[in-house]
Amino acid sequence: MEGAKQVLQLSDDEFGSVSRLVVKPHEPQIGPSFYEDFALRGIQVDRVEPGLIFCTFKVPPRLIDRTGNLAGGAIANLVDIVGNALIYRIGQPMNVSVDMSISYLSNAKLDDELEVTSRLLGKIGAVSGTSVVIKKKDSGEIVAQGRHSLFSRLKSKI
| pLDDT for the residue 155 | 46
The tens digit of pLDDT for each residue in 2-41 reads 776 776 777 788 777 767 766 665 455 455 566 677 777 8
For residue 96, give the amino acid letter: V
pLDDT band at residue 132 using 50, 70 and 90 as cut-offs:
very high
pLDDT at 137 > cutoff 80: yes
Percent of the chain that is helix, strand, coil (3-state, to 5): 25, 35, 40
CA atoms within 13 A on the CB side of 44: 8
Q: The whole model's pTM is what?
A: 0.74
Q: In percent, how much of the chain has pLDDT > 90?
A: 53
Range with lowest mean pLDDT among 25-39, 44-58, 85-99, 118-132: 25-39
| 83 CB neighbour count, 10 Å cutoff | 29
Higher model confidence: residue 23 or residue 73? 73
Higher pLDDT: 118 or 35? It is 118
Which residue ranges form the domains of the chain, and what is each CATH number?
Answer: 44-151 (3.10.129.10)
Does residue 146 carry a pLDDT above 60?
A: yes
